[in-house]
């Protein structure tokens, strides 16, 4: 680690480095070059290799480490911890932190924590107030947001120009609280998202040079069509831009009726029709 030019690890874990240590361009560049097996040297290398950074979030209480990220954990695991802080059920709720994982169960205003292996809950290892975990999540989220901007700048330097990603999602995706929390984290970090209510087809365009379109217009169907013909890609980008302009920001409140509101509206329409029928007869 030291040979790669990275900051010193934290005292609690010899393989973890605090995010606040990466405040300079050289430190971040060293990190990005150390993550893949072969250091990225071109734009395509950066796009391929720089994904969720390995590591995660370490939870401490009274100077005691309660949980630490395991194998396959990364900084994107914070959404699971946020959901855990809101968990009110007495049954264990699995929090992805890598291998092994963690479970959380509610006991009044306290949360019970334990380890799990392959989805099998282990014994309880600690208890802490729900408010304490919620506060820890807020602190970690602020640190990740602070880290995101210099990280993107470092990626841009390695790639040779600015990197940007925009995603349009259907409003039904926001019905899942976990997905919503994760998408808002990505949006706050600069991975921009917008929301539409009308049906959309899955389309991926990379670097305005190659596009992927689902072969069968059915959700979750396998296979994709690879498009490299520039005029067709230009048309697809134009369609994306038109949809992007119409879409709303992910942070904007949804103008959608709840199931109860829809039920009341349908009843009102039916009553209006019934009155109109009696008046005309």
175: its two tokens = 């019905």
**Which of 248-254's residues contact partners 24+ apart within 8 Å by CB, and which partners?**
248/194, 248/195, 248/196, 249/194, 249/195, 250/169, 250/174, 250/183, 250/184, 250/187, 250/193, 250/194, 250/195, 251/184, 251/187, 252/195, 254/171, 254/174, 254/195
Asked if residue 233 has pLDDT above 80, the reply is yes
Give the span between the Cα atoms of 262 and 199, in whole angstroms.
19
**pTM over the 0.85 mark:** no
Q: What confidence tens digit (pLDDT) does each residue in 245-273 have?
A: 888 888 766 555 566 666 777 777 777 66
Give the span between the Cα atoms of 195 and 129, in whole angstroms.
35
CA distances from 204 to 144, 167, 219, 232, 233 (A): 26, 9, 15, 13, 10
Q: What domains does the chain contain, in order, with CATH numbers? A: 2-155 (no CATH), 164-249 (3.30.870.10)
Average pLDDT, the chain: 79
Give the span between the Cα atoms of 129 and 148, in whole angstroms.
29
Exposure b/e, 60-81, CB count within 10 A at least 16 = b? eeeeeebbbbbeebbbbbbbbb
Q: What confidence tens digit (pLDDT) does each residue in 2-12 have?
A: 445 677 888 88
42: its two tokens = 């071109």
What pLDDT score was predicted for residue 1? Answer: 39
Give the span between the Cα atoms of 98 and 112, in whole angstroms.
19
Q: Provide the percentage of residues in the chain whose pLDDT is more than 70.
A: 74
Q: Is 199 exposed, middle or buried (0-12, 13-18, 19+ CB in 10 A)?
A: exposed
Does 51 or 202 have the greater pLDDT score?
A: 202
Question: 127 has which bridge partners?
Answer: 112
Does 40 or 231 have the greater pLDDT score?
A: 231
Q: How many CB atoms lie within 10 A of CB 140?
A: 20
Q: What confidence tens digit (pLDDT) does each residue in 60-81 have?
A: 888 889 988 888 888 878 888 9
Residue 119 sits at φ, ψ, to 5 deg, of 80, 0
Q: What confidence tens digit (pLDDT) does each residue in 94-134 have?
A: 998 888 889 999 999 999 999 988 778 899 999 999 999 99
What pLDDT score was predicted for residue 281? Answer: 52
What is the arithmetic mean of pLDDT over 157-173? 74
pLDDT tier, 87 (very low <50, low <70, confident <90, very high otherwise)? very high
């Amino acid at each position: 680690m030291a040979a790669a030019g990275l900051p010193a690890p934290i005292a609690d874990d010899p393989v973890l480095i605090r995010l606040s240590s990466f405040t300079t361009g050289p430190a971040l560049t060293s990190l990005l070059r150390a993550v893949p097996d072969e250091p990225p040297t071109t734009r395509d290398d950066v796009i391929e290799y720089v994904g969720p950074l390995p590591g995660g979030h370490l939870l401490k209480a009274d100077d005691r480490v309660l949980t630490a990220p395991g194998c396959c954990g990364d900084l994107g695991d914070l959404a699971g911890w946020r959901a855990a802080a809101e968990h009110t059920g007495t049954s264990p709720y699995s929090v992805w932190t890598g291998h092994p994982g963690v479970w959380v169960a509610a006991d009044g205003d306290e949360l019970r924590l334990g380890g799990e292996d392959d989805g099998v809950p282990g014994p309880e290892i600690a208890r802490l107030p729900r408010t304490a975990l919620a506060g820890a999540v807020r602190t970690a989220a602020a640190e990740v947001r602070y880290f995101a901007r210099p990280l993107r700048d470092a990626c841009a330097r390695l790639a040779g120009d600015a990197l940007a990603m925009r995603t349009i999602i259907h409003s039904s995706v926001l019905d899942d609280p976990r997905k919503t929390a994760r998408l808002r984290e990505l949006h706050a970090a600069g991975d921009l998202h917008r929301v539409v209510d009308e049906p959309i087809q899955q389309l991926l365009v990379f670097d305005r040079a190659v596009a992927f379109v689902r072969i069968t217009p059915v959700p979750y169907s396998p296979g994709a069509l690879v498009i490299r013909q520039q005029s067709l890609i230009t048309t697809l980008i134009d369609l994306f831009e038109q949809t992007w302009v119409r879409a709303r920001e992910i942070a904007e409140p949804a103008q959608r009726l709840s199931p109860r509101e829809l039920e009341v509206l349908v009843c009102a329409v039916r009553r209006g029709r019934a009155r109109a029928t009696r008046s005309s007869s």
